[in-house]
Structure 1
Amino acid sequence: MQKKLVYIIDDETDICELISAELIRHGYDTRTFQTGAQATHALNRRKPDLCIIDLGLPDMDGISIVRQLCDSLGLGVIIISGRDSTSDRVLGLEFGADDYLIKPFDPRELVARVNSLFRRLEHIEAAASRSDKSRKAMFAGWLFDPSTLTLRHHDQGRNEILSASEAALLTLLLRSPRQILSRDQLLQGYADPFDRSIDVRMSRIRKKIEKEPRHPTIIKTVYGAGYILTSEVEWRSE
């Protein structure tokens, strides 16, 4: 089986080498980059399965790379940063990162979070059908493809790319349409459940699928209980 490829983007060489060694020890393939320019060049040549990125790069803002990874490429992203405020963590999630780990950290914890993210991706692919992963979900005019983490609107001709965590949340809702799912149910499978993460990721999903994200009709908040997908869902093969 082909190894998962992880890009590590951090200007501190020793941190890159430490993370790389730990991931290789656990069966991953890695590439390391010390600048945003190096990483961007590599991303244009080969798409990895996951990126681990520090926000404090010497040549460009790490957040701009996170936006490119999540909005254009749909890659899994884990931010590592010395910025430890709640606002920084929320900002990272708002731009589509799947996880946020504060420096200094134990490399074993990072590996646990990498493993957790890949498990989420595997669950997404398996959600459509255990026997047929080519199935897609049709709901409220949108077609969701679990294999590519993409959304396509039939009438509007719009296409959207979801991050791994956004797709995981949407998949949970699609598997239980018109049922209230609690925050605890939606947080299952996360290595480090961050209380605001569900709200932030749900907001990103709504911005992509709702006509008026501030007044959602497809995914509604049931205050004190959780979230509910209001539309019917049809799983189909194409």
Structure 2
Amino acid sequence: MTQPLVTILDDEPAIRTMLADALQEAGYRTMTFARATEFEAALHRTTPDVCLVDLGLPDRDGLSLVHRLALELGASVIIISGRAQVQDRVTGLELGADDYIIKPFAPAEVVARVRARLRDPKVARPRSETARFNGWVAHFDRYALVDDAGEETPFSHAEGEVLRLFLEAPKRLITRAHMQEQLGGAAGESFDRAMDVRISRLRTKLREDPKNPRLIKTIYGAGYIFLGDVSWT
């Protein structure tokens, strides 16, 4: 089985080497890039499973690249940055990042975060890749939602994880604790914020009324319930 591919975009050679060595030792394939232009050119030839993106790039602001990756690519995006301000972390998550790691960091921490994004395929049970619900078809093999008129809306890897969690347990309460257990990551304010961002983006893509969503209902103080009728193929 082909190992997941992790791309590393950082202008510091020592960090690229350190991360590549740690990830390869953990069993992942890696590709490293010093500039955004090199990385974007490579995306025409390959599709990574996880993208590690530094915000302080010499030829482009990393936040705009994160936004594009979240919209167009089905990979998880993890920001690695020296920007430690809360607003930078919030902005990164709102633009589509799945996680945010502040420099300096231990290589083992990055490996653990990558592993949390991509759970071991050897122990994952086989899963259906297409679900139908309330006029929508979710294609998890190509990260796309299709409405009954045939219009496609892409979703990210992280959004797909949350959507699958809802679709596999319709009309049942999904607590924050259960989401953290299933999706990985450290419990706390940053995890809760990441879930809020992903659920908000899913509601937008499902054309939900933010004040009165029909499908993804918030049960305040408890969690969420997905109210659609779901069939898997």
- The CA deviation at 1:45 is 2.3
Q: Which amino acid in structure 2 is aligned with residue 34 of structure 1?
A: A
Pairs aligned (count):
229
| Separation in 2, partners of 1:152, 1:124 | 26
Checking the alignment, whether the CA contact within 8 Å between 2:180 and 2:186 is kept in structure 1 is no
Residue 192 (structure 2) aligns with: 195
Kindly provide the amino acid, as one letter, of the partner of residue 30 in structure 2. T
Match of residue 89 from structure 1: 89
- Structure 1 residue identity aligned to 2:217: K
Distance 1:83 1:62 in 2: 11
Q: Report the equivalent of 1:43.
A: 43
Relative to structure 1, is the Cα distance of residues 121 and 145 closer, same or farther in structure 2, using a 3 angstrom cutoff? farther
Counterparts of 1:70 and 1:162 in 2: how far apart (Å)? 8
Amino acid at match of 2:146: R
Give RMSD over aligned pairs: 2.0
Alignment correspondent of 1:147 = 141
% identical aligned pairs:
43
Q: Could you tell me which amino acid in structure 1 is paired with residue 171 of structure 2? A: R
Aligned residue in 1 for 2:62: 62
CA change 1:99–1:213 in 2 (3 A) is: same
TM-score when scaled to structure 2?
A: 0.90
Shift in alpha-carbon separation, 1:99–1:143, aligned structure 2, 3 A? same
Structure 1 stretches lacking a partner, 5+ long: 129-134
Classify 1:90/1:184 alpha carbon distance in 2 versus 1 (closer, same or farther; 3 Å): same
Which position in structure 1 is the counterpart of 2:160?
167
Gaps spanning 5+ residues in structure 2: where?
none
1:222 aligns with 2:219: yes
Tell whether 2:209 aligns with 1:212: yes
Provide closer, same or farther for how the CA distance between residues 81 and 229 of structure 1 changes in structure 2, counting only shifts above 3 A: same
In structure 2, the CA distance between the partners of 1:79 and 1:120, relative to structure 1 (3 Å rule), is: farther
* CA deviations over 1:160-189 (Å, ceiling 9, x no partner): 222222111111111111112111111223
Q: Which amino acid aligns with 1:218?
A: L
Shift in Å at residue 4 of structure 1? 2.0
How far apart in 2 are the matches of 1:142 and 1:87?
A: 35
3-state SS in 2 of match to 1:176? coil
Helix, strand or coil for the counterpart of 2:192?
A: coil
The aligned counterpart of 2:27 is 27
Partner in structure 2 of residue 132 of structure 1 = none
Shift in Å, 1:140: 1.7
Question: Does 1:101 find its partner at 2:101?
Answer: yes
Question: Partner amino acid for 1:201?
Answer: R
TM-score by length of 1: 0.89
Q: What residue number does 2:113 align with?
A: 113
Contact conserved, 1:220 with 1:230, CA < 8 A, in 2? yes
Which digits, 9 at most, give the CA deviation of each residue in 1:97-146, with x for residues without a partner? Answer: 12111111110010011111111888998443xxxxxx511112111122
- The 8 Å contact of residues 208 and 215 in structure 2, kept in 1 or not, is answered as no
Preserved CA contact (<8 Å) 1:124 1:168: no
Indicate conservation of the 8 Å contact 1:217/1:230, yes or no. yes
Distance verdict in 2 for CA 1:197–1:6, change over 3 Å = same
8 Å CA contact 1:6–1:29 kept in 2: the answer is yes
Offset at 1:212? 2.7
